[in-house]
């Protein structure tokens, strides 16, 4: 029987053999006391890599974004973000629920950026009638698209000119950096640092394309990370012998960044294979996330298509658009199986 081709998300990756060995060899301590050497080494590594004073290892990207927003904002403050950004749309309204911090969502442009004029308009006057605008949050990649560096510079400069701090949800920051390096001829880690330098805080996820089983990190100043550490404790994210997990992440940072280009190539292969099928509109992928829309007579057949793919051992995701995500658990053969299965569905 052919193995399952799981394209629902890059969160489904399994630790490699070498990563499991690194986990088992990790020296351990109690991280709540700041005594886990593997966690401390990871925090120093990711902070240094992205150009920050400090970092905090947390279980999830959702908690990392929450710690960032609540470290930047107080009750009655607000943060500005895009309608489709993870920290607004996909995290259960946690900043409002737990912190009394109001989100101010604005629409995305076709390239997934936020118009500078819309950001400026969303910033409230300093008046008792309004929540206090304190933070601009951006995301890169955004729905798989790389946000241009010159735009990031302009948007963060605008925020600072109006007294706002800046946060980057960089769940797939290294995917953005690898693609940016491909375009510029640069080096991926250097490109990640270039992106990060425009922000006061950066959250980066390790359990997606990098392939670690668990974990994200929030990077920032020593003062802000100290506030975030307290929030992590209140949110139940302070772990004890977390070095097993931190060692997996350190291995991923050493060995899995450059290989993200392979995932990007597979996404382009999938896009090319699906292009031209009547009823499908394929969005050109920048990185490892491919979106496909059904139109015409096929508009309402997404659930049927997902079920048909599942019967053939191919898993995809389709809450509001069809999404296919490549990762280290997928190879060219699996992509070709997906293409063939989709073509059989539309030509049955």
Fold for 259-346, please state it: 3.90.1150
Q: Which tokens go with 209?
A: 């394309």
Average pLDDT, the chain: 96
* 283, two tokens: 């969005």
Q: How far apart are CA 170 and CA 147, in angstroms?
A: 11
Q: Residues 6 or more apart from 31 whose CB is under 8 A from it?
A: 39, 57, 238, 239, 240, 241, 242, 243
pLDDT digits (tens, 9 = 90+) for 239-258: 999 999 999 999 999 999 99
DSSP H or E segment with residue 87: helix 86-89
Phi, psi at residue 319, to the nearest 5°? -65, -40
What is the percent of the chain with per-residue pLDDT over 70, rounded to a whole number?
99
Helix (H) or strand (E) holding 55: strand 54-58
The pLDDT of residue 319: 74
Question: How far is the C-alpha of 128 from the C-alpha of 324, rounded, in Å?
Answer: 46
- Describe the strand order of the beta sheet including 280-282 as a list of residue ranges: 280-282, 289-294, 322-325
**Tokens 């990077």, located at residue:** 219
DSSP-assigned letters across all residues of 265-286? HHHHHHHHHHTT-TTEEEPPPS
Structure tokens that stand for 155 in this block: 């948007």
> For residues 93 and 86, is the Cβ–Cβ distance under 8 A?
no
pLDDT at residue 1 in the model: 67
How confident is the model at residue 309, as a pLDDT? 96
What per-residue confidence (pLDDT) applies to 348?
54
What does the block give as tokens for 91?
């995290």
Low-confidence ranges of the chain (pLDDT < 50): none
Nearest to 202 by CA among 90, 30, 46, 60: 46
Q: Can you read off the two tokens belonging to residue 290? A: 């491919």
Task: Say how far apart CA 106 and CA 226 lie, in whole Å.
Answer: 30
CATH 3.90.1150.10 domain residues, the chain? 259-346
Q: Inter-axis angle of helices 222-234 and 61-72, to 10 degrees?
A: 120
Amino acid 347: pLDDT: 84
The pLDDT of residue 320:
75
The CATH class given to the 17-255 domain equals alpha beta
Q: Which regions of the chain carry the CATH code 3.40.640.10?
A: 17-255
The whole-angstrom separation of Cα 104 and Cα 122 is: 7
């Amino acid at each position: 029987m052919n193995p399952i081709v799981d394209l629902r998300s890059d969160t489904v990756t399994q630790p490699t053999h070498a990563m499991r060995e690194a986990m088992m060899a990790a020296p351990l301590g109690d991280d709540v006391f700041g005594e886990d050497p593997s966690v401390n080494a990871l925090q120093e590594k990711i902070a240094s890599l992205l150009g920050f004073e400090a970092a905090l290892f947390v279980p999830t990207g959702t908690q990392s974004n929450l710690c960032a927003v609540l470290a930047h904002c107080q009750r009655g403050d607000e943060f500005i973000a895009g309608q489709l950004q993870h920290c607004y749309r996909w995290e259960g309204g946690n900043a409002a629920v737990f912190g009394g911090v109001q989100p101010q969502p604005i629409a995305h442009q076709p390239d997934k950026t936020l118009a500078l004029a819309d950001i400026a308009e969303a910033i409230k006057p300093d008046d008792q009638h309004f929540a206090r605008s304190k933070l601009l949050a951006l995301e890169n990649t955004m729905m798989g698209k790389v946000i241009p560096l010159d735009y990031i510079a302009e948007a963060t400069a605008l925020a600072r000119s109006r007294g706002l701090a800046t946060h980057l949800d960089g769940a797939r920051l290294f995917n953005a950096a690898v693609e940016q390096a491909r375009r510029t001829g640069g080096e991926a880690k250097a490109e990640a640092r270039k992106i990060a330098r425009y922000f006061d805080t950066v959250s980066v996820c390790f359990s997606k394309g990098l392939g670690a089983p668990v974990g994200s990190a929030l990077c920032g100043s020593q003062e802000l990370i100290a506030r975030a550490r307290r929030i992590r404790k209140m949110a139940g994210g302070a772990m004890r012998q977390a070095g097993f997990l931190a060692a997996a992440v350190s291995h991923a940072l050493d060995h899995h960044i450059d290989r993200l280009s392979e995932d990007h190539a597979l996404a382009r292969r999938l896009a090319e294979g699906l292009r031209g099928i009547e009823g499908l509109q394929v969005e050109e992928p920048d990185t490892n996330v491919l979106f496909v829309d059904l139109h015409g007579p096929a508009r309402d057949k997404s659930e049927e298509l997902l079920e048909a793919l599942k019967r053939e051992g191919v898993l995809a995701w389709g809450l509001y658009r069809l999404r296919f995500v490549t990762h280290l658990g997928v190879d060219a053969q699996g992509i070709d199986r997906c293409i063939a299965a989709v073509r059989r569905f539309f030509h049955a």
